[in-house]
Chain A
């Protein structure tokens, strides 16, 4: 059974249909990529699935439960985790604290335990800290653990966001352009990391502009243009699809429209 099921999802901003009637499924261990030109509605789609935007139409279900428009923190409790295209790092906190924040659901307790530093709180926090250090090693940021996150390079922050998202032990992970701004070596590392995560049974939904990366690791690709799904299938099928080629390269009639955007 599919873990994430998106049916006819759509949203309009002031009469403009930013996303319209998009449907697809993601199963455990599967890597599904959403691609399309800039402004195609990929991030908007992510924001609807993760509860940041309320969808105008359609439905999202997670593990068989209808979750359309459910708040992000409730979705996190149900095993959905995400990263952001425009980094959403806790800049003033240390790198380690950023990942620890990702352990919120497993380390939270009563506020009295927190104020009085009771042993139960210390034990939960110590477990979270051990897990966070392992995750930092996994994204090679263990040496920066005590640094303030705001001082890290862009590529390092991208990896930090992935580590924070993994701290939730998600069933499904939404990655919004994880390789943007990364050099070739970093991109390859992220490539390996995503493949590993999928192999461990996590469902991956990926938005990415690096076509080589997408074609290499995706099981299934959904192509959006102007908010509509114009094609889907395995990488080989999608890359030969005339509608996809037209959307990316533009056809003669469409040329002026693209110049505007």
Chain B
């Protein structure tokens, strides 16, 4: 990806975020949009881990859980401002990722998947069982960010949906910008190189374990911030945010959209966030349809939706 491609991707994303509200039939869709951006943010993190560095994680919801509960707990117990709680969650997630990543990133393929899965389940169990602190499976309230009332005092009236649509859209843009910068940087090249061949990457001087750990920590921070934003906009959080199904959902979104591409990942997040909204009529079959979509994509578009479509269009041009 050259520098020009980076700005095209960012431009497309910014335009979509800015123009989509023109087509919203009701205020409810701002909520859906904000949810899409939050999911897309954690999926962009997975693009760095899976797409760039070629490592799998089935436990990233654990980091989303850490981010979410940091926002729920830190303001109440430490008196921290919710915005600083987002940072605290990101730091804790980053440190946790560095600590557990060091031993488990030696594992490959299925073994790594199982080890990360174990981590995710551990976090969700702690959040479910520490009732005194987290309220257990019933969840707990999350303090208000306070920014919206500040804006109102300054004369800018926004509905809750509009406000979170904007905040999450901006954070997603920043996340996409960082990920695209990384792609075409020395670290990004080292990650992509070890994805292609670990032995060749090592012989050109890449410290393979270190680069894997970097990708793991960065993607954990993405998931953590996404979890924080989810908690703040809902004003309420349950341990489901750290659950196994959430981890699987993230990986599915990444794979569906195209795991090598930031724009594709956003696209995947959009589709899988919208699908349950559209499918409420067949609520009972939702999982079935999700599974079917996944199987079809893996068979017919293994590169993911967006890259496959892009390739087909390009082929027609030539």
Residues of A within 8 A of B (CB): 50-52, 71-73, 75-77, 81-82, 84, 88-93, 97, 100-102, 104-105, 107-109, 111, 113-117, 121, 124-125, 128, 164-165, 167-168
Contacting residues, chain A, for B181 (C-beta < 8 A): 114-117
Q: Measured between alpha carbons, how far is A115 from B215 in the docked complex, in Å?
A: 11
| Known contacts A73-B208, A89-B196, A115-B182; A101 and B203 CB within 8 A of each other | no
Contacting residues, chain B, for A101 (C-beta < 8 A): 189-190, 192-193, 201, 204, 206
Contacting residues, chain A, for B203 (C-beta < 8 A): 50, 52, 72-73, 75-76, 81-82, 88, 165
**A121 and B185 contacting across the interface, CB-CB below 8 Å:** yes
Extra contacts, 16 of them, besides A73-B207, A76-B204, A101-B201 (Cβ < 8 A), are A50-B203, A76-B202, A90-B192, A92-B196, A93-B192, A93-B193, A101-B206, A104-B206, A105-B205, A108-B186, A114-B187, A115-B218, A116-B181, A121-B186, A165-B204, A167-B204
Contacting residues, chain B, for A91 (C-beta < 8 A): 196
Q: Measured between alpha carbons, how far is A222 from B206 in the docked complex, in Å?
A: 31
Residues of B within 8 A of A (CB): 178, 181-182, 184-190, 192-193, 195-197, 199-208, 214, 218, 260
28 contacts between A and B (CB under 8 A): A71-B202, A73-B203, A73-B208, A76-B203, A76-B205, A81-B203, A81-B204, A82-B203, A84-B199, A88-B197, A88-B203, A90-B193, A90-B201, A92-B192, A92-B196, A92-B260, A93-B189, A101-B204, A104-B204, A104-B205, A104-B206, A105-B205, A111-B187, A116-B178, A117-B181, A121-B185, A164-B200, A164-B204
Q: Measured between alpha carbons, how far is A117 from B203 in the docked complex, in Å?
A: 26
Contacting residues, chain B, for A89 (C-beta < 8 A): 196-197, 200
**A88 and B186 contacting across the interface, CB-CB below 8 Å:** no
| Known contacts A101-B206, A107-B186; A88 and B200 CB within 8 A of each other | yes
Contacting residues, chain A, for B205 (C-beta < 8 A): 73, 76-77, 104-105, 168
**B190 and A111 contacting across the interface, CB-CB below 8 Å:** no
List the B residue with the shortest CB-CB distance to A146: B2
| Known contacts A71-B202, A101-B189; A114 and B208 CB within 8 A of each other | no
- Point out the residue from A52, A82, A97, A117 that lies within 8 Å of B189, measured CB to CB: A97
Min C-beta distance of A125 to chain B, whole Å? 7
**B204 and A92 contacting across the interface, CB-CB below 8 Å:** no
Q: Measured between alpha carbons, how far is A72 from B206 in the docked complex, in Å?
A: 9
**A84 and B200 contacting across the interface, CB-CB below 8 Å:** yes
Contacting residues, chain A, for B178 (C-beta < 8 A): 115-116
Contacting residues, chain A, for B214 (C-beta < 8 A): 111
Contacting residues, chain A, for B202 (C-beta < 8 A): 51-52, 71-73, 76
List the A residue with the shortest CB-CB distance to B207: A73
**A104 and B185 contacting across the interface, CB-CB below 8 Å:** no
List the B residue with the shortest CB-CB distance to A99: B204
Min C-beta distance of A86 to chain B, whole Å? 10
Min C-beta distance of A74 to chain B, whole Å? 9
Q: Measured between alpha carbons, how far is A164 from B204 in the docked complex, in Å?
A: 8
List the A residue with the shortest CB-CB distance to B54: A92
Q: Measured between alpha carbons, how far is A71 from B260 in the docked complex, in Å?
A: 29
Min C-beta distance of B148 to chain A, whole Å? 29
Closest 4 CB pairs of A and B: A90-B196, A114-B185, A88-B200, A76-B205
Contacting residues, chain B, for A113 (C-beta < 8 A): 185
Q: Measured between alpha carbons, how far is A81 from B203 in the docked complex, in Å?
A: 7
| Known contacts A108-B187, A164-B204, A167-B204; A52 and B199 CB within 8 A of each other | yes
Q: Measured between alpha carbons, how far is A104 from B187 in the docked complex, in Å?
A: 8
Contacting residues, chain A, for B208 (C-beta < 8 A): 73
Q: Measured between alpha carbons, how far is A104 from B205 in the docked complex, in Å?
A: 7
Min C-beta distance of B67 to chain A, whole Å? 18
Min C-beta distance of A75 to chain B, whole Å? 8
| Known contacts A89-B196, A90-B193, A91-B196; A109 and B204 CB within 8 A of each other | no
- Point out the residue from A104, A105, A114, A165 that lies within 8 Å of B182, measured CB to CB: A114
